[in-house]
Amino acid sequence: MNRTRILYAASKSLFLVSLLSSTLMCSSSPSKAASPPVTVSQAASQASAVNGSFKTLFADIASKVTPSVVSVILTKIDTVTSYQNPFSDFFGDSGTDNPFQFFFGNPFSHNGRSPKPEKREYREQGLGSGVIVSPDGYILTNYHVVAGAGQLQVKLADERTFEAKIVGVDSLSDVAVIKIKEKIDNLPAAPLGDDAALRPGDWALAIGNPFSFTSTVTLGIVSALHRQVGNQNLYQNFIQTDAAINPGNSGGALVNVDGQVVGINTMIYTRTGGFMGIGFAIPISMAKSVMDDIIKTGKVTRGWIGVSIQDPNKAMREALNLGSRKGVLVGDVYKGQPAEKAGIKRGDVILSVGGKPTENSNELRNFVAELQPGAKVPFVVLRNGKEMTLELTVAERSEKTVAGLSEKSKAAPTESNGASEKRLGLSLADLTQALRAKYHIDAQEKGVVVLETPPTLTDSRATLREGDVIEQVKVKDRDFANVESLKQLDEVTRHVKKGDSVLLLVVRGAMSLYVGFEL
């Protein structure tokens, strides 16, 4: 402890001396308009003021925002069926209170009389966090905090507790909006900031209720921006922070040094269940956009174009002749959807949308979601080495439409199997009726099927699965070629040598993806 204090005092002294020296140097530098010299006592006074304000900076931020962060208390109510001993009203259900069970066991459990079914309510209580965003009681939190709630309460930092209701949720962004039922117009609403101004290295505070310890404040920095974690079908653009976030922090505030909420704390990366230095928050701009839609229309409206997309790796970029250009590869184009109507094809690389360059698939997915349905937007794509502009009319994302796209017909089973042969380091076979049945491959699908991926592979071929269908192959500077048999595959790849880039179009169930590697 003494050593720590000495180091702290020494570092503080060095800070003051450094600040004093820089102040004196600035005051003595030549200038056209001479200014009065700064004395040592004045410089020391200025340094002391700066140091004093820094000492109270985070406490001032916490006192400003903490009243706006609430505990979200939910009760999940499940009905379970139990089987009651018909004599339990007299002797109890178990233990020594039941003389029959104590001496003879339970005569009603197996071979005795049938037990009497009884429905009982099972209640489970959880705790999360939320941020008051309006004086009349609207609160931002996470979808996963309130999912399945039977009863909902919010507890303020000043211990006041109110009943609340769910206004609306959006599982795709993990945002929920709840509201205090009681009519109140003077709640402490948090000031909302601009997450677009954040930079890695900026100070950040996380405020919430980890492990039920209410109004907990932790300090860290913004570690990274634009993170995507896990499920690629969700809309994500996370702020990564090392401010400690733990279970119960979900739905709480991530705050900048101006005392403004810039994110809604959502999840952590952990191998232990506790904090490991990596936490994620939903940018406040995304959360607010979802909230505004929910409050105004009761649902979230998102743009939709009907493609599956992926980021090209190094081998893919070489095979597609992308050079230094950034773009997103179209893995599939859904039939009857806006992209198909506009002329976008599988294998196209989307370079820009509406004049905005496409950096990666996650950014493109989020950007398209923000487009208004009905808007006409130019898409610049690269196809066979040539750029072209296609105008696309954005549709509205519908869960019914998205669910329908995943449906595929299944062939009837037969008995025979296909013979496996080695190609491109993989065990492949011609598609037979038996293999179509075994792997539920659509009757319209043509290609060669993957039977085995050797465990020794360390490139992107290792992501291939048994039952994947290789439909097209692109090698070197040639265009994509259809491969409907192993014989055709041999023709396409007969000039390929070690070190060449190979790009495969693979069909997996209802989706398509590209796999690129160096042979």
Active site residues: 144, 174, 250
Place of tokens 């976030």: 245
Q: Torsion angle of alpha carbons 464, 470, 476, 482, nearest 10°? A: -170
What pairing do the DSSP bridges indicate for beta strands 175-180 and 238-241? unpaired
The DSSP H or E segment spanning 474 is strand 469-475
SS3 sequence of 127-196: EEEEEECCCCCEEEECHHHHCCCCEEEEECCCCCEEEEEEEEEECCCCEEEEEECCCCCCCCCCCECCHH
CA atoms of 222 and 265, how far apart (whole Å): 12
Residues 47, 23 contacting (CB under 8 angstroms) = yes
The two three-digit tokens of residue 103, written as one number: 């001496």
Give the HSE-up count for residue 167: Cα atoms under 13 Å, Cβ half-sphere: 23
Three-state DSSP class for residue 514: strand
Angle subtended by helix axes 2-28 and 40-65, to nearest 10: 120
**Which one-letter DSSP state was computed for residue 461?**
G
CA nearest to 517, candidates 503, 498, 496: 503
